[in-house]
Amino acid sequence: MASKAAAALSCALLVVAAAGYYTPPSPGACGLKVGYYHDRCPQAEAIVKRVVGDAVRRNPGVGAGLIRMLFHDCFVEGCDASVLLDPTPANPQPEKLGAPNNPSLRGFEVIDAAKAALERACPGVVSCADIVAFAARDASSSLGGGRGVDFDMPAGRLDGRVSVASRTLDFLPPPTFNLSELVGSFAAKGLGVEDMVVLSGAHTVGRSHCSSFVPDRLAAPSDISPSLAASLRGQCPASPSSGNDPTVVQDAVTPDTLDNQYYKNVLARRVLFTSDAALLTSPATARMVSDNANIPGWWEDRFKKAMVKMASVEVKTGRNQGEVRRNCRAVN
């Protein structure tokens, strides 16, 4: 029992003292394993896959939202579904109302549908945190278009009880970050430079609000491609506001396909964010961009591993750390 308690504690608190950065143990060291629900809810992963697949077929943008949801959940309080909690009188400002999430984060209704189906099949067994991780994997597979973005996702996470909007600003890197800021943000979660470059490739799907890039990329000097800048000026107001903030695709070439086109766009300087362009500002990361753009299968293989690694950040596995929520939007 003591060893299990120590393992659970290490998953939440392991720190490399010299660097001051949290370092995620392997999924196995955290009590996560592939096939975790095999005995208690054999159809769990199939149920989530069906719900996600149906949703992505109806609207590919939801798939991009589900991939982003895992990232936004794991970087704040760890991978514990804290991003799903709705406001309450006791907690009027949860994570989903934080500026990085509201109004841009999408896919909550898909998680609700998967949870409802799972509660009918095996009540009180599958955590919302595992649903978020499965959904991101299944969205990656659905958007991959048969290009090899299929992978196993270990499970066994519990749901957290803490969700604070201001924490999103503390840990989620904004699109204005330069390279050193990006590296530090990912390092604080135990993720390396290559993890950062590889996970940035998810920007090959989804949409962005104009306010995320207009001030830095269109209203100020930047290296953005003149033709892309002209196109974006035709789609975005010069001064986006809450009442006038349209969205544009992040990858105009293959907007609904999870592939390595993002890196080709980076090399062509046809990307939206300062943080995207920043990947070319060091020889090491520029080489990673080039490899991901030009070597078939290179990015897909690394993306699968990076997603599993990210989904192990600060997970809660001890019963004193979390719970299995009955409703993903509220603590029990």
Q: Which long-range contacts (CB under 8 A, 24 or more apart) does 274-277 make?
A: 274/175, 274/176, 274/177, 274/178, 274/213, 274/216, 274/217, 274/222, 275/173, 275/174, 275/175, 275/176, 275/177, 275/178, 275/182, 275/200, 276/175, 276/200, 276/203, 277/217, 277/222, 277/223, 277/224
Residue 259 annotated as part of some ligand binding site: yes
Residue 119 annotated as part of some ligand binding site: no
Structure tokens at 186: 């990912």
DSSP single-letter state for residue 245? -
Distance CA 39, CA 28 (A): 18
209 belongs to the catalytic site: no
Residue 86 annotated as part of some ligand binding site: no
3-state SS assignment for residue 271? coil
**Is the Cβ–Cβ distance between 309 and 195 less than 8 Å?**
yes
Residue 61 annotated as part of some ligand binding site: no
CA distances to 119, 172, 196 from 289, rounded to whole Å, are 42, 22, 11
Among the listed residues 49, 68, 72, 325, the single catalytic one is 72
Residue 251 annotated as part of some ligand binding site: yes
Residue 78 annotated as part of some ligand binding site: yes
**Is the Cβ–Cβ distance between 274 and 268 less than 8 Å?**
no
Which amino acid is residue 29, in one-letter code?
A
Residue 95 annotated as part of some ligand binding site: yes
Closest C-alpha among 11, 29, 46 to residue 134: 46
Residue 209 annotated as part of some ligand binding site: no
Residue 103: cis peptide before it, omega within 30 degrees of 0: yes
DSSP for 117-169, please give it. HHHHHSTTTS-HHHHHHHHHHHHHHHHHTTSS------B---B-S---HHHHH
Cross-strand partners of 126? none
Rg (alpha carbons) of the chain, rounded to whole number:
19
- Give the residue ranges of the annotated binding site for Ca(2+): 73, 76, 78, 80, 82, 95, 204, 251, 254, 259
Known catalytic residues are 72
- Give the residue ranges of the annotated binding site: 73, 76, 78, 80, 82, 95, 173, 203-204, 251, 254, 259
- Give the residue ranges of the annotated binding site for substrate: 173
- Give the residue ranges of the annotated binding site for heme b: 203
